[in-house]
Amino acid sequence: MKVQIIGLGLIGGSFALALRKASPGVEILGSDVNEDHLQKAQNLKLIDRPAGLDEVENADVVIIAVPVDVAKKVAIEVLDHVGINTLVFDAGSTKTGLCESIAAHPNRRNFLAAHPIAGTEFSGPAAAVEDLFCNKTNIICEVEKTAFKLQERALEIFQKLGMRIRYMDPKAHDRHIAYVSHLSHISSFMLGKTVLEKERNEKDIFDLAGSGFASTVRLAKSSPAMWTPIFQQNKDNILETLEEYINNLTKFKSLIENDNFNEVFLEMERTNHIKKILNGIN
């Protein structure tokens, strides 16, 4: 199997490592506008060799793992060159705009819109993790628009990588992801910002910060270059979730101001229900 990965950061690099483990003998080609990433991917043996987009027609699988603000352009360019039996899938965090941009493309049947819910706060080829996708959910949108035999190829790959599959409409995907992913990153960035502004002496932060702070602010180490376009593309859904989040914060602040700590307790107790959800318990 010949695979070409476009975008050799955390996600693209992790796909390369996972595919090498799952499919010995796979040939992996790589493309990246960042020459440093391309060189590092070769040094780390993530890819066998670099390849231009004009080579996608010879690939069995093309994985688009680029920031969402360039994914539309890359997807169209790839579909312009694919062979009749080439599977193309992406891994972006927003889906509506991408699906709309390729809806009328003659080779739309070659494309599968996907979003593996996996990642870390690190970026670049050196951040790649072999088992990043194992036991993670992979959301697939508009599966009916992909040629059946290419659906089968994609599902076989995802199964080998240990991924769970969920099917979702692109607009529903973007709305739900705004709550469970995008809002989490915004919260983390803003918590980090608040602490940095308040604690001018950085030594105090490191001396006083416990594991709770570290885990909560972990996502603030994520790449702004990746997340700014995500926030831009999912603006409407993010604004809606932010409004609800701000309302809850305002209410919580008011309870404390009014010494209503019984209700503070009840608010937290009701929220404890999320433990059951996260543990998969109904």
58 and 181 housed in the same domain: no
Of the candidates 159, 164, 165, 154, the one whose C-alpha atom is nearest the C-alpha of residue 1 is 154
| Contact in structure between 157 and 2 (CB atoms under 8 Å) | no
Number of domain units in the chain: 2
Looking at the structure, tell me whether residues 144 and 78 fall in a common domain.
Answer: yes
Query: 217-259: per-residue pLDDT in tens?
Result: 888 888 898 999 999 999 999 999 999 999 999 999 999 999 9
Give 282's pLDDT tier (boundaries 50, 70, 90): very low
Shared-domain flag, residues 145 and 206: no
- Domain boundary among the residues 145, 168, 191 is at 168
* Structural domain of 220: 173-278
CA 54 to chain centroid, in Å, comes to 26
Residues 9 and 29 in one domain: yes
Looking at the structure, do residues 130 and 8 belong to the same domain, yes or no? yes
> Any idea which of 21-35, 118-132, 264-278 has the lowest mean pLDDT?
264-278
Helix axes 183-198, 224-233, angle to 10 degrees: 130
Mean pLDDT of the chain: 93
Q: Is the CB of residue 124 less than 8 Å from the CB of residue 10?
A: yes
Which residues are paired to 61 by β-bridges?
Answer: 3, 87
Are residues 56 and 96 located together in one domain of the fold?
yes
Q: Residue 210 pLDDT more than 70?
A: no
Residues 164, 177 within the same domain: no
Calculate the dihedral angle through the C-alpha atoms of 93, 96, 102, 104, rounding to the nearest 10 degrees.
160
Predicted pLDDT of residue 1? 94
- For the domain that residue 120 is a member of, what is the CATH number? 3.40.50.720
